[in-house]
Amino acid sequence: MTTTTRFAPSPTGRLHVGNIRTALHNWMLARQAGGAFILRIDDTDAARSSEEYADAIRADLRWLGLDWDREERQSARLERYEAAFDALKAAGRIYPCYETAQELEVKRKIALGRGLPPIYDRAALKLTDAERAAREAEGTPAHWRFLLDHAEPIQWEDGIRGTQKFDPAQLSDPVIRRADGSWLYMMPSAVDDIDMGVSQVLRGEDHVSNTAVQIQIFTALYAAAFAAHEGAAKSLPAFAHEALLVGREGKLSKRLGSLGCDTFRDRGIEPEAIIALLARLGTSQPVEPIADRAALVASFDLATFGRAPAKFDEEDLERLNAGIVHQLPFDAVAARLPEGMDEAGWHAIRPNLAHIGEAADWWRLVTGPIAPPAFTDDDKAFLATAAETLVWGDDPWGALTAALKEATGRKGRALFLPLRQALTGMDHGPDMGELLPLIGENEARARLETAAR
């Protein structure tokens, strides 16, 4: 069976780091197996869904380099959900309910007050035909629940969590359709996975109980011959549930919900740094600044995922970003560099960058103007000698320092620091052997002479 995964965001907001991690891992599963990665826009909630958010989701995925093989939209598939609804209704697996939200809340509080789980009591199943007709005559619209089969435990082998087992009697029959006719998540998602041939569902551990319910929905749809058409998945997908992200302090953090691609872009974080961090976060594999995405994909393995919450540390992201920047070739960044910076300039300055946006500050060491510090008389005399000694060749810095060492007896910091300060105005920075040729002979001599006055 072809490996097919999906990422199914609702266009009701921007992607955050948790969404991005889910998208990435499903993308990696598909790419590793040479399969298909589907972007499914879950936009059945018309009141909250926005085309602006759908466009933003696509833009963020493109910026991250997570390409998809096809896009699906739930709003274009309403007929399929109606067909599934009719099939389940005919099979006796869904039933109408008439409780209001307030009535359900009262029932929930009573159960909790008695120390019981807040499971729906199936009161609607006890209604007679006359009672249902009376409710409808009163204008009380029905919402619809899926009838869980309590006969056997729900069990599956999870790709991360191992054997999972649920007693369906300890789960509420899920509402699959609201009283206004709109759909909730449970049934349409199962319908889509069947129709689209999804073979693996990888998502957060907060969906584990949803998976238990959906397994019965899948089974009921298969029993109703709903998957008989070409291209449909003929068996349940393989499920895996990864631990959720937590903040550095080890707790679920609201900040994680606000960290998205816009924030990362504004901070100068490279997409490859985000990918390198999230690809292995929560696994036993080392998190390293790996810019080679193919290597990350090849090493992706659900068996390395742990059960403990995965800690997202922004300092780790910054560290990885610097490591990624130090690997980027000139062609990959040329359009983002200051005017005049060529490949030699990038190679010289790159090791000093944490973010590409800092390149302009370092490039000013070449283009000037610079502001050297005040020097002692001894250092001024030394710099005057340097200006006279400077001879241009293949390695002007090496030739200059060698000649000055012999002429003045200076070495180490006393030799190198005044030269760097006079030529760049700084105590540290790029390798002078690479930087001096970029400054050029005339400008370098002029800076030495100015510092010597």
Instruction: Write out pLDDT tens, residues 134-166.
Output: 998 998 899 999 999 999 999 999 999 999 999
Helix (H), strand (E) at residue 28: helix 17-32
> Residue 251's pLDDT is what?
66
CB 328 within 8 A of CB 418: no
SS3 state at 86: helix
Instruction: Write out pLDDT tens, residues 24-61.
Output: 999 999 999 999 999 999 999 888 899 999 999 999 99
CB 28 within 8 A of CB 2: no
What are the distances in angstroms from CA 453 to CA 372, 373, 378? 12, 12, 12
Give the N- to C-terminal CA distance of the chain in Å, as an integer: 78
Helix (H), strand (E) at residue 241: strand 238-242
Gap between the Cα atoms of 342 and 353, Å rounded: 16
What contacts 99, CB < 8 A, 6 or more positions away?
107, 123, 124
Is the bond leading into 437 cis (omega within 30 degrees of zero)? no
Q: Fill in the amino acid letter for 171.
A: L
Flag whether pLDDT at 252 surpasses 80: no
> Residue 12's pLDDT is what?
93
CA Rg value for the chain: 32
The angle formed by the CA atoms of residues 305, 3 and 68, to the nearest 5 degrees, is: 90
Task: Please say whether the dihedral angle defined by the alpha carbons of residues 53, 59, 62 and 63, taken in this order, is positive or negative.
Answer: negative
Instruction: Let me know if domain 368-452 sits in CATH 1.10.10.350.
Output: yes
Confidence of residue 371 (pLDDT cuts 50, 70, 90): very high
Phi then psi dihedrals of residue 273, to 5 deg: -70, -40
Looking at residue 123, the DSSP 8-state letter turns out to be: G
Phi then psi dihedrals of residue 239, to 5 deg: -105, 145
427-439 average pLDDT score: 96
Instruction: Write out pLDDT tens, residues 71-124.
Output: 999 999 999 999 999 999 999 999 999 999 899 999 999 989 998 889 999 999
Buried b vs exposed e over 130-159: b needs ≥16 C-beta within 10 Å?
A: eebeebeeeeeebbbbbbbeeeeebebebb
Looking at residue 226, the DSSP 8-state letter turns out to be: T
Flag whether pLDDT at 1 surpasses 70: no
pLDDT greater at residue 229 or residue 246: 246
Residue ranges, CATH 1.10.10.350, the chain? 368-452
| Residue 51 burial (10 A CB sphere; 0-12, 13-18, 19+) | exposed
What predicted TM-score, i.e. pTM, was given to this entire model? 0.91
Flag whether pLDDT at 326 surpasses 90: yes
